[in-house]
Amino acid sequence: MTRTKQKVAILGATGAVGQTFIRLLAGHPWFEIAELVASERSAGQRYRDVVKWQDGELAPEVGELTLLPAEAGTVRSRIAFSAMDSSVAGPIEEQFAKAGKTVLTNAKNHRMDPDVPLVIPEINADHMALIATQRAARDWQGAIVANANCSATVAAMALAPLQERFGINTIFLSTMQAISGAGYPGLPSSDILGNVIPFIADEEEKIEIELRKILGRLDGGAVADAAFTVSAHTNRVAVEHGHTVCMSIGLDGSPDVKAVRSALDEWTGSRAVRGLPGAKHRPLVVRNEPDRPQPRRDVGSGDGMTVQVGRVRADAVLDVRLVVMGHNTVRGAAGGSILNAELLLSTGAIPSA
């Protein structure tokens, strides 16, 4: 279907996720970057004079845009992708929603609000129904829609087929998270090179609660969290892009490895995403090699939107263990947000301009 392109704003356009939005939205069939927003430090300056552009060539027409301050009154676009630092994102996003804009956020601030959908469209597209609850409760015409923590997103992609087919009762997981997950400029090289840092602020708590909401069930206008328990360990490692998650999983009925493998292999995700520009035919790919997935080799799979799972094997403590890996700034951030916006546009939840 041919659509009039929707003008969009990117809030937090100078950072790691903001730059990924700009890269992914170049030539997008439904969206056109109209406005860029950053902090008061950057506002009023030309984007290309302020940004430390990380990846390839910056499109000249984007580089020429003047950065706007984060005020809903100065931004005309009705769709705003938010990649703002969480220290400021919460109230600014509310101000934008109050002004009638649909905000697709990567920040943690509103993810666990009961009336804010926390959506990975292949898994829980139906949770978008919370927008109606949100509009009624907050008396605004706009909306806030969140995508999950980047490691939670990667883990959820391998957990969803198992929750759907068997039911999950216990998850023990440990992450190896890329440096780009800490934003730009991120960590000093002298802290991370040749090192593993076994602490990422708030990360374990976010993974533990967000997984239960994403994999929960929409019930009478609210999400009933999934009942499983999660224990998460998080580590920062010297990898540029791609978060790896090692998981041991307890499943209802203790199915064997063959059945688990089939469930992963056969999963294609919700029908709601079929045909959307950012959706992949196989959002989850099962690898057979004994030493995959690896971030250096596999992070670009499906333009960064495909999550890879491997080493599916029996576990001596729980039922099964596996390794899952996905691109943190694409699948776990900007690409996920864009897919959410495509879903909303395709269902009419964001009216076409």
Q: Which residues bind ligand NAP (CB under 6 A)?
A: 12-18, 38-39, 41-42, 70, 83-86, 88-89, 106-108, 150, 180-181, 183-184, 328-329, 332-333
Phi and psi at residue 294, to the nearest 5°: -130, 135
Quick one: tokens of 271?
């029908």
Q: How far is the CB of 180 from ligand NAP (least distance, A)?
A: 6
Q: How far is the CB of 328 from ligand NAP (least distance, A)?
A: 4
Q: How far is the CB of 120 from ligand NAP (least distance, A)?
A: 12
Q: How far is the CB of 17 from ligand NAP (least distance, A)?
A: 3
Cβ atoms of 107 and 89 within 8 Å: the answer is yes
Q: Report the residue number, 212 or 236, with the smaller CB distance to ligand NAP.
A: 236
Q: How far apart are CA 37 and CA 268, in angstroms?
A: 36
Q: Report the residue number, 16 or 239, with the smaller CB distance to ligand NAP.
A: 16
Three-state SS string over 318-345 comes to CCEEEEEEECCCHHHHHHHHHHHHHHHH
Q: Report the residue number, 102 or 346, with the smaller CB distance to ligand NAP.
A: 102
Cβ atoms of 160 and 311 within 8 Å: the answer is no
Q: Report the residue number, 29 or 91, with the smaller CB distance to ligand NAP.
A: 91
Dihedral angle at the C-alpha atoms of 146, 148, 150, 153, nearest 10 degrees?
-130
Q: How far apart are CA 246 and CA 228, in angstroms?
A: 17
Estimate to the nearest angstrom the gap between the alpha carbon of 205 and the chain centroid: 17
What is the side-by-side order of every strand in the sheet holding 79-82? 31-37, 6-11, 79-82, 102-105, 143-146
Cβ atoms of 84 and 70 within 8 Å: the answer is yes
Would you list the DSSP string of 59-80? Answer: PHHHHTPBPBPS-GGG---SEE
Q: Which residue is nearest to ligand NAP (CB)?
A: 15
The radius of gyration computed from the CA coordinates of the chain, to the nearest angstrom, equals 19
Rounded to the nearest 10 degrees, the angle between the axes of helix 150-165 and helix 257-266 is 110
Residues annotated catalytic, as ranges:
150, 243
Q: Report the residue number, 99 or 129, with the smaller CB distance to ligand NAP.
A: 99
Q: How far is the CB of 43 from ligand NAP (least distance, A)?
A: 8
Q: How far is the CB of 220 from ligand NAP (least distance, A)?
A: 30
Q: Report the residue number, 70 or 322, with the smaller CB distance to ligand NAP.
A: 70
